[in-house]
């Protein structure tokens, strides 16, 4: 894979994320540092409550760290402000969640095209159709989320996450509610995006099948991110 831009997709430097718990504060993420190159797939495993979701939300600029620094595609998130962070999320970061987060009043094509339309991109519907074709459900472009299965809705969510020049894809339990066939499609699609399009991919999951496609596997326990190990050859 030839990636001209060697800027890392994601850099976390000594990130701490604390949440209020009554009069005290609880650290969900403790001094986490992480570097993800473009084209690299990193999988974070851990039990529920280990801090995976908090880590991914900070990495994806959905939450601000209590301390530490976050860089996405070379941009220091702390210096962007609220509007700049929103623009960064919309243009450079793709999100895939177990809950799909699709808009029920929009068709599959409209859900996928929405990030581009918000930026005034011409022919966003054509790009949306191509993205749906990439995940194998172009024939469902005119359906609403309630008219699709869970696996089909997740494919729509992935198409939306991958449309446009995304540099980083964050996936939080993307296959947790899917059958084995749909899970395989999700994994293959994200691997393709990393390998062929040069996006960094960060996955938080209980699904051990992800270990077979990861470049690195990390463990998270009590908010502590372990040293990285290579994925299976």
- Flag whether 107 is in a domain: no
Q: Please give the distance of CA 217 from its chain centroid, rounded to a whole number.
A: 16
C-beta of residue 224 within 8 angstroms of C-beta of residue 30: yes
How far separated are the first and last CA of the chain, in Å rounded? 18
Distance CA 132, CA 141 (A): 7
Inter-residue contact 73 to 9 (CB < 8 Å): yes
Task: Give domain status of residue 111, yes or no.
Answer: no
| 158 falls within a domain | no
Instruction: Report helix, strand or coil for 144.
Output: coil
**Tens-digit pLDDT string for the chain (233 aa):** 444 568 999 999 999 999 887 788 889 999 999 999 999 999 999 888 899 999 999 999 999 999 999 999 999 999 888 889 999 998 899 999 878 889 999 999 999 999 899 888 888 999 999 999 988 899 999 999 999 998 899 889 999 998 888 899 999 998 888 888 888 888 988 898 888 888 999 999 988 899 999 999 999 999 999 875 665 55
In a domain, 39, yes or no: yes
Q: Say whether pTM exceeds 0.75.
A: yes
Range of the domain at 57: 10-101+167-230
Q: Is residue 140 part of a domain?
A: no
Tell whether 185 is covered by a domain. yes
Residue 202, both tokens: 């960060």
Closest CA to 32 of 59, 64, 61: 59
Does 114 fall in a domain?
no
Give yes or no for a contact between 46 and 52, defined as CB atoms under 8 angstroms apart: yes
* 233 contacts: CB under 8 Å, gap ≥ 6: none
User: Domain total for the chain?
Assistant: 1
Supply the CATH number for residue 95's domain: 3.40.50.300
Establish if 192 belongs to a structural domain: yes
86 Cβ neighbours under 8 A, 6+ residues apart: none
Gyration radius (Cα) of the chain, Å: 17
Tell me which residue has tokens 């393709």: 192
């Amino acid at each position: 894979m030839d990636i001209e831009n060697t800027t890392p997709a994601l850099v976390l430097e000594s990130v701490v994320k604390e949440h209020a718990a009554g009069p005290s504060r609880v650290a969900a993420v403790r001094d986490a540092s992480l570097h993800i190159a473009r084209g690299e797939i990193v999988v974070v495993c851990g039990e529920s409550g280990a801090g995976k979701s908090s880590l991914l939300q900070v990495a994806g600029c959905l939450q601000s760290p209590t301390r530490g620094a976050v860089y996405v595609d070379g941009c220091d998130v702390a210096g962007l402000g609220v509007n700049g962070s929103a623009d960064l999320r919309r243009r450079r970061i793709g999100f895939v969640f177990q809950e799909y987060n699709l808009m029920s009043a929009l068709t599959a094509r409209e859900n996928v095209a929405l990030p581009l339309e918000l930026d005034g991109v011409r022919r966003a519907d054509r790009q949306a159709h191509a993205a749906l074709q990439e995940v194998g459900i172009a024939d469902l472009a005119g359906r609403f989320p309630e008219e699709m299965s869970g696996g089909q809705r997740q494919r729509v969510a992935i198409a939306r996450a991958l449309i446009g020049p995304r540099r980083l894809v964050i996936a939080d339990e993307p296959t947790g509610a899917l059958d084995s066939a749909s899970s395989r499609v999700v994994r293959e699609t994200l691997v393709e995006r990393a390998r062929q399009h040069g996006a960094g991919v960060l996955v938080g999951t209980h699904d051990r099948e992800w270990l077979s496609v990861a470049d690195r596997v990390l463990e998270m326990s009590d908010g502590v991110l372990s040293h990285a190990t290579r994925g299976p050859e």
